Amino acid sequence: QKDIISIRDFSKEDIEYILDVAEKMEPVARSKKRSNVLSGNILGMLFYEPSTRTRLSFETAMKRLGGSTIGFAEANVSSATKGENLADTAKIISEYADAIVIRHNMEGAARFVADVVDVPVINAGDGAGQHPTQTLLDLYTMKRVLGRTENLHVSLIGDLKYGRTVHSLAYALAMFGVDMSFVSPTELRMPQSIVHDLSKTGVSVEETESIHDVIDKTDVLYVTRIQKERFPDPEEYSKIKGAYMIDLKLLKGTNAIVMHPLPRISEIAPEVDNTAYGRYFEQAFYGVPVRMAILSLLMDKIE
């Protein structure tokens, strides 16, 4: 397929294939092997919202494969500040680059861009919509750490309303038959449209406000940040921030691993970082081989 906009555009087999290619890419991602498979290719990066991991892991992936990148990391250094619209910017970059990665605060922005340009478009996060490449690296992390992406119980906790990472991930986990628990304050519940879609897939989904209800059966505790920037009313954010804290007292005696798309604020205690529970830094690294796989597949350059 030409674009990566939503995880729902993929089948389970498509995802498994990408994860297999990513595994083959890992020695190059770790700089243990060299590759020039994307030599001469240019990736256009349109980041209208802040990013550390997604932007820099795409950049690393491109460079590890011998390609290069152009673009901007903040809209205020592009001609958007002069009033240029998204379609015009995207069309211009598509003439300079072989593929486009876009992060934007507007849900649907990546789909909009894919409709106006001819080069492949990758959604690096569209508002509270989707973050499909994060989901691919999340699944890759489960495969690498636990040896499987099936027969798991995954608990998603935190901002399930605005969290694009959990929106994408929940759909993907359902494809793998994974039962899920959604843990959030009532104000930040998973959108009921998603819960409804999942109810038709045959997986078990439960909603609760308390992590204690589900921790004992959890294989993967997927923690998310309460996102201040998505709240229309700052008062509402103040009331909910700090709702959850994952620490060793909670984890002790469980088999759960802790994942997080990052950045974290205070939802995971630093004492978890260097334990067998905490896998979020490893997870962030896996963004490189997974994005290498995505880029080489989209540009039709597999060695």
Interacting stretch for ligand CP, rule CB under 6 A, among 2-10, 52-60, 70-78, 146-154?
52-60
Measure Cα distances from 259 to 19, 143, 286 in Å.
18, 13, 12
Contacts (CB under 6 A) with ligand CP, residues 245-284: 261-263
Is 81 annotated in the active site? no
* Shortest CB 218 distance to ligand CP, Å: 21
Is 82 annotated in the active site? yes
- Segment (H or E) for 133: helix 132-146
Separation of alpha carbons 101 and 120, rounded Å: 9
Task: Select the residue interacting with ligand CP from 41, 134, 155, 218 (CB under 6 A).
Answer: 134
Give me the catalytic one of 131, 143, 279, 301: 131
In the complex with ligand CP, the residue whose CB is nearer, 128 or 205, is 128
291 is in an annotated binding site: no
Is 103 annotated in the active site? yes
Is 53 annotated in the active site? yes
Q: Residue type for 28, please? A: V
- When asked if residue 51 is in the footprint of ligand CP (CB under 6 A), the reply is yes
Give me the catalytic one of 64, 103, 144, 260: 103
- When asked if residue 135 is in the footprint of ligand CP (CB under 6 A), the reply is no
Separation of alpha carbons 223 and 27, rounded Å: 28
CA angle 47, 128, 159 (to 5 degrees): 120
Interacting stretch for ligand CP, rule CB under 6 A, among 20-28, 51-59, 74-82, 204-212?
51-59
Paired tokens of 299:
């540009």
User: Looking at residue 253, what DSSP letter applies?
Assistant: T
Contacts (CB under 6 A) with ligand CP, residues 186-245: none
131 is in an annotated binding site: yes
Is 208 annotated in the active site? no
* Shortest CB 109 distance to ligand CP, Å: 15
DSSP state letters, 146-184: HS-SSS-EEEEES-TTT-HHHHHHHHHHHHTT-EEEEE-
164 is in an annotated binding site: yes
262 is in an annotated binding site: yes
103 is in an annotated binding site: yes
Paired tokens of 168:
């994408």
Separation of alpha carbons 17 and 125, rounded Å: 22
Task: Select the residue interacting with ligand CP from 24, 53, 111, 264 (CB under 6 A).
Answer: 53
116-147 burial string, b = 16+ CB within 10 Å, else e?
Answer: ebebbbbbbbbbbbbbbbbbbbbbbbbbbbee
Give me the catalytic one of 8, 24, 53, 264: 53
104 is in an annotated binding site: no
Q: Among 179, 177, 173, 115, which residue's Cα sits nearest to residue 153?
A: 179
Q: Any idea which residues carry the catalytic annotation?
A: 53-54, 82, 103, 131
Q: Could you tell me which residues are annotated as the binding site for carbamoyl phosphate?
A: 53-54, 103, 131, 134, 262-263
**Chain contacts with ligand CP (rule: CB under 6 A):** 51-54, 125, 134, 261-263
